[in-house]
Amino acid sequence: MMFDGFEVQSRWDEAFRAAVVGGLSRAQKSIPCCWLYDERGSELFNEITRLEEYYPTRAETEILLRWADEMAGFCGEDILLVEYGAGAGIKTEILIEALDKPRLYVPIDIAGDVLAQTASRMRDRFPDLETLPIVADFNRDFDLPAGLPPGWRTAFFPGSTIGNLNRSETVAFLSRLHRHVEGRGMAIIGVDLKKDLGTLLSAYDDGAGVTAAFNLNLLARINRELDGDFPLDRFVHQARWNESESAVEMHLVSLDTRVVSACGRQFAFHEGETIHTESSRKYALDSFRSLAEKSAWRLSRAWLDDEDRFAVLGLEASP
C-alpha cells in the first residue's frame, strides 16, 4: 500500500501522540528514545558525537580505521552489505572502502528523507556499487525484499544503537538479522563496553550542556507538536546508572510538583519525579556473547580501541 506525504505525516504525528499519552500515564513516566530525534534533536546528537566527553563515536571510528581490512576479510568477497539505520555516514564509507567487490549496499531507515540523502551520498562516493535503500522500522519485524542478488550477506549495525534495546529486544533484533542474512552470513555490530561510572556518566552529561539540551528538546517538541505546556526551565536533565540493566539512563526531572498538559490531557508530576527518555546499555563481551548465542549467532571477533572502551564485534551465523 502507498501513502502520500500527508498521510505519512499524520500517522507519524499520531504515533508520537500515542507514545506521549501512553508514556506519561505510566507509574514510571517514560517516552521511547526514538522521539528524541526530530530535526533539532538530530542536530544536537551530531554535536554530541563531537564532544570531548562522548567517546563512543571517536572510539568506534578509530577501530574501523584500524581494522577495516580485517573486517573486510571476515565478511568475504562479493557480499551484500545491509545496514540498519542510515545515519552512520563516515563509518559505513570506511567499511565499504575496504570490502572486496561488494555487490550491493542496502541501507535501511525509517526516515525516508535521511535514507534518500544517504543513498545519493553513497552513489556519489561509490559509483560502481549498487545501492538499494529500504524504508522500514528495523525495531519491528520485517523481511528484506525477495530477489536480491545472490551472495553472502553482512548485517552492519554500528554506533552502539543496539544499546537502546533491552535484553529481549536485543535477542529479537539479532534473530531478525540472522533471518536477513539467510542463516549463513555475518554481522558487524558496534557495542559500547562497561567501564568506570565517571567516564560513562560524563559521556551522557557533558560540561557544555549539549546532552541536556538534546534531552530537553523532547519537551520543546511536545510543547510545539502536541500543544504541551512543559516549563522548560523547571525540568532538568539527569544521567544515571542502572546497575541491574547495565545501562546509562537519561531522565528529565521535574523540579516542582505540578500539572502539565499535552495532547489535551493533564499529567501530574511530584517534585523530583522523572520521565525516562533513553537507556544506553553497556556490555561486557561475555554478556553480549550470551545474547548473541540465544539468537543463533557465534561471537567470532572483537575489535577494540586502544583504551578498551568500545568494541566492534564480528558475529557468524550458526545454522
Q: Decide whether 51 or 172 has the Cβ nearer to ligand AVJ.
A: 51
- Report the nearest approach of ligand AVJ to the CB of residue 84 (Å): 12
- Report the nearest approach of ligand AVJ to the CB of residue 308 (Å): 17
Q: How many CA atoms lie within 13 A of 53 on its CB side?
A: 17
| C-alpha closest to that of 105 among 67, 43, 155 | 155
Q: Decide whether 48 or 222 has the Cβ nearer to ligand AVJ.
A: 48
The answer for 188, left when phi > 0, alpha when psi is -120 to 50, beta otherwise, is: beta
294: how many CB neighbours lie within 10 A of its CB?
A: 14
- The two counts, helices (H) then strands (E), for the chain are 9, 14
Q: Decide whether 68 or 212 has the Cβ nearer to ligand AVJ.
A: 212
| C-alpha closest to that of 252 among 198, 214, 287 | 214
Q: Decide whether 30 or 102 has the Cβ nearer to ligand AVJ.
A: 30
Q: Decide whether 39 or 256 has the Cβ nearer to ligand AVJ.
A: 39
- Report the nearest approach of ligand AVJ to the CB of residue 15 (Å): 19
- Report the nearest approach of ligand AVJ to the CB of residue 200 (Å): 10
Task: Report the C-alpha gap between 90 and 77 in whole angstroms.
Answer: 21
- Report the nearest approach of ligand AVJ to the CB of residue 205 (Å): 9
Task: State in Å, rounded, how far the first CA of the chain is from the last one.
Answer: 34
Helix (H) or strand (E) holding 268: strand 265-269
Q: Decide whether 80 or 216 has the Cβ nearer to ligand AVJ.
A: 216
- Report the nearest approach of ligand AVJ to the CB of residue 294 (Å): 22
Q: Decide whether 153 or 238 has the Cβ nearer to ligand AVJ.
A: 238
- Report the nearest approach of ligand AVJ to the CB of residue 240 (Å): 13
Q: Decide whether 16 or 278 has the Cβ nearer to ligand AVJ.
A: 278
166: how many CB neighbours lie within 10 A of its CB?
A: 12
Q: Looking up cell 554500528, which residue turns up? A: 158
Measured on CA atoms in the order 180, 183, 188, 189, is the torsion positive or negative?
A: positive
- Report the nearest approach of ligand AVJ to the CB of residue 211 (Å): 5
The residues that touch ligand AVJ, with contacts defined as CB under 6 A, are: 48, 56, 159-161, 163-164, 204, 211, 278, 280
Q: Decide whether 21 or 165 has the Cβ nearer to ligand AVJ.
A: 165
At residue 86, what is the residue type?
A: A
C-alpha cell at 18: 500515542
Task: Report the C-alpha gap between 250 and 237 in whole angstroms.
Answer: 7
At residue 120, what is the residue type?
A: S
Q: Which residue is nearest to ligand AVJ (CB)?
A: 280
Helix (H) or strand (E) holding 247: strand 247-254
- Report the nearest approach of ligand AVJ to the CB of residue 204 (Å): 5
Task: Report the C-alpha gap between 176 and 182 in whole angstroms.
Answer: 10
